Amino acid sequence: MLATQLKYDLIMFSRELFYLIFSIVVPPVTYVFLGHLVGENTFAGGLSYAQTYTPSFILLITFSVVFFITAPFFAVIILVISDHLCFLANSFLFDISVEMVNAQLSYYGLHLLFFLLFSVILSVITHKVIRKLKQFVPVFKHYFLFLMSLTVLTVSFFYINILVSDRSGFSSEIVQFNSFIFLAYFALFITILGLLLFSVIKEMKVKNKQEEYKQLRMYSENLEEMYGELQKFRHDYINILSSMSEYIRTKDMEGLETYFNEKVMPTGQGIKKNHYKLGALQNVKVTEVKGTLVSKLIKAQDLGIDIALEATEPVHQINMDYIRLCRCLGIILDNAIEEAEQFDGSSIHIAFIQKENALLIVVANTIGGEIPKLYKVFQQGYSTKGENRGLGLSNLKEIVSKCENVTLETKIKGKMFFQELEIAD
Amino acid sequence: MVDIFICEDDQQQKEKITNYIKNYIMIEQLDMRITLSTDNPDEIIDYVKSNRVTGLYFLDVDLKHEKSGIVLGAEIRKYDARGSIVFVTTHSELTYLTFLYKVEALDYIIKDDFTDFTAACH
């Protein structure tokens, strides 16, 4: 589990040129640059530049690689902050000054230990926060420029600070002063991010509500349409009954037979080819899920796909995060619709089936063309629909793997493609 | 010997199905008999509970009873895991997946389409 996660992260990491530059290129360049600037100086304890900074930079690079994977930008900041927190801790707890740290190996060891501890703690926190933030990625895109400049500002601030302090020598006063500045800056940064996050979440909630409202309006419009058709049918029905009673009154059995076969039977056929597909939706009581279903059902109907929803028993609640569930359903249904719209006479069945201690959601669609190999379907980048596609199902798998009580089963039976999402209560 | 059960709330429909099956058994000389033809799902449940049978069930989906045909089918499954359940339905929307997953039904027949009956019996 952890290994696959790491592998996935590494793949994502290597794809991002930006991360690579920041973690592998930038630190050595800075190292060489600083060395060029201050390399001639000797540092406290008579150590040369290389002796003082090589271990830190090696650490920096390793940490960046590891943490850029999950926390881009923040790695450098984390490291600098933890470094300074170490100095603060050292000077407050053990009364060890910066000079002593650099001079004695045991102090240096202690310092490194603290450094590791702080950076691990901070990284874990950042990691958690970033994981949480990932679901807001689309919203954050609006603020991308702002975040970008903020981050660049922060990073450059830290680098300049290091450079300036280095120029004037890392005396303990300066380091302590820096520590306070960094802490203040950190607090400021967190506050800004927090405020941003707050407004983003609010905006997203409003958007969700709007979307839900739109879907429900579509639903009610559809229902009205259905009701209108039903009215029309009732009118026809009364007409039919009265003309039939007229035939019976005059005992015109032959006339009745022809009338029945020619007029009445065809209306029956018309009812069967119904447009009342949203009827079963009344049993889905979860508004969010209903909304997703409505929008997809109407989309499919507009495309002329024969789509049917079955929910024989009412579904009051589903033991899964609704946002995740809606994303899963959206992916599954979009795939089904995309497949079905390519071929005539294709159909999609959706069913909500209440089992003894689980809810089973099944989506079955017909396959028109070549039947894909099942093991390939879930691979990232695989798609039957050409290039630059195929993220849907691998995303779906990722979402499902995050929920403990949810399993996804994919089957191909003959010309039908089944997706079964089982959610345990 | 295969036991055949029929559950259908409409008297006329029930007789129609029963006759159809009776004739079919006779013509094809099958080793089957109609054990129960009723409009009350509880009767079937009681019978299946007290007798070990592997039956063939024809169930109407929309029974005028608190139990729907689907619930009845699911209950029959508890006692008779190997029986074949066929739904007889007017529902044009065909709750096809529900039959399949909830009851593991063998097949379904649309009521006005009795030619399918023969195929379903096999």
* pLDDT tens digits for range A332-379: 998 888 888 888 878 888 989 888 888 999 998 888 777 777 766 666
Q: Name the residue among A308, A353, A420 with its Cβ closest to that of B93.
A: A308
The alpha carbon of residue B120 is apart from the nearest alpha carbon of chain A, in Å, by 19
Residues A389 and B3: their CA atoms lie apart, in Å, by 53
Q: Which of A38-42, A81-85, A110-114, B80-84 has the lowest mean pLDDT?
A: A38-42
SS3 B38: strand
H-helix segments, chain B: 11-28, 41-50, 69-79, 96-98, 116-121
Instruction: Establish, for the pair of chains A and B, how many residue pairs have beta carbons separated by less than 8 Å.
Output: 41
The alpha carbon of residue A390 is apart from the nearest alpha carbon of chain B, in Å, by 27
Selection from A126-135, A265-274, A327-336, A387-396 with the highest mean pLDDT:
A327-336
Averaged pLDDT for residues A393-420: 85
* Number of domains making up chain B: 1
A277: closest chain B residue by CA: B93
Cα dihedral value A78, A81, A87, A90, nearest 10 = -60
B92: closest chain A residue by CA: A272
Spell out which residues of chain B touch residue A365, defining contact as CB-CB under 8 Å: none
SS3 A380: coil
Spell out which residues of chain B touch residue A276, defining contact as CB-CB under 8 Å: 93
pLDDT at position A54 is: 63
The pLDDT-based confidence of A20 (bands split at 50, 70, 90) is: low
Q: Over the Cα atoms of chain B, what is R_g?
A: 13
**Contact state of B98 with A280 under an 8 Å Cβ cutoff:** no
Q: pTM of this prediction? A: 0.58
pLDDT at position A416 is: 84
Is there a domain that residue B6 lies in? yes
**Contact state of A276 with B95 under an 8 Å Cβ cutoff:** no
Between residues A121 and A295, which one has the greater pLDDT? A295
Residues with Cβ within 8 Å of residue A297, at least 6 apart in sequence: A277, A278, A281, A307, A309
Q: What is the phi/psi pair of residue A252, to 5°?
A: -90, 80
SS3 A363: strand
Q: Which of A60-64, A246-250, A406-410 has the lowest mean pLDDT?
A: A60-64
Spell out which residues of chain A touch residue B98, defining contact as CB-CB under 8 Å: 310, 312, 351, 353
Q: Over the Cα atoms of chain A, what is R_g?
A: 33
pLDDT at position A345 is: 79
Q: Name the residue among B70, B92, B97 with its Cβ closest to that of A349.
A: B97
The pLDDT-based confidence of A29 (bands split at 50, 70, 90) is: confident
Q: Is B91 on the interface with A (CB under 8 A)?
A: no
Q: Which residues of A touch B (CB under 8 A)?
A: 268, 271-274, 276-277, 279-280, 308, 310, 312, 349-351, 353-355, 360, 362, 364, 420
Cα angle A101, A105, A110; round to 5: 65
A278: closest chain B residue by CA: B93
Is there a domain that residue B65 lies in? yes
pLDDT digits (tens, 9 = 90+) for A193-224: 788 878 888 888 898 888 888 888 888 888 88
pLDDT digits (tens, 9 = 90+) for B11-68: 888 888 888 888 888 888 888 888 888 888 888 888 888 888 788 888 888 777 777 7
A355: closest chain B residue by CA: B102
- Fold topology of A277-425: Heat Shock Protein 90 (3.30.565)
A422: closest chain B residue by CA: B101
Mean per-residue pLDDT over chain A, rounded: 75
Residue A129 has a CB neighbour count (10 Å cut-off) of 16
Q: Name the residue among B70, B92, B112 with its Cβ closest to that of A312.
A: B70
The alpha carbon of residue A403 is apart from the nearest alpha carbon of chain B, in Å, by 23
B99: closest chain A residue by CA: A353
The alpha carbon of residue A9 is apart from the nearest alpha carbon of chain B, in Å, by 38
Spell out which residues of chain B touch residue A271, defining contact as CB-CB under 8 Å: 92
**Contact state of B98 with A312 under an 8 Å Cβ cutoff:** yes
Residue intervals of chain A classified under CATH 3.30.565.10 are: 277-425
pLDDT at position B105 is: 65
Residues A101 and A321: their CA atoms lie apart, in Å, by 50
The answer for B 102-121 residues in CB contact with A (under 8 A) is 102, 112
**Contact state of B93 with A274 under an 8 Å Cβ cutoff:** yes
Q: Is B66 on the interface with A (CB under 8 A)?
A: no
Is there a domain that residue B121 lies in? no
B61: closest chain A residue by CA: A312
Residues with Cβ within 8 Å of residue A147, at least 6 apart in sequence: A140, A196
Averaged pLDDT for residues B78-83: 82
Selection from A2-11, A315-324, A364-373, B88-97 with the highest mean pLDDT:
A315-324
pLDDT digits (tens, 9 = 90+) for A139-197: 556 666 776 777 777 777 777 777 777 666 666 677 777 777 777 877 887 888 788 87
Q: Best residue in B63, B97, B103 to probe A by mutation, most A CBs within 10 Å?
A: B97
Cα angle A386, A387, A392; round to 5: 85
Q: Which of A46-55, A152-161, A241-250 has the lowest mean pLDDT?
A: A46-55
pLDDT at position A230 is: 82
CATH classification of the domain holding B107: 3.40.50.2300
Is there a domain that residue B44 lies in? yes
Does the pLDDT value for residue A387 go beyond 50? no
Between residues A91 and A423, which one has the greater pLDDT? A423
Residue B106 structural domain:
2-116
Spell out which residues of chain A touch residue B66, defining contact as CB-CB under 8 Å: none
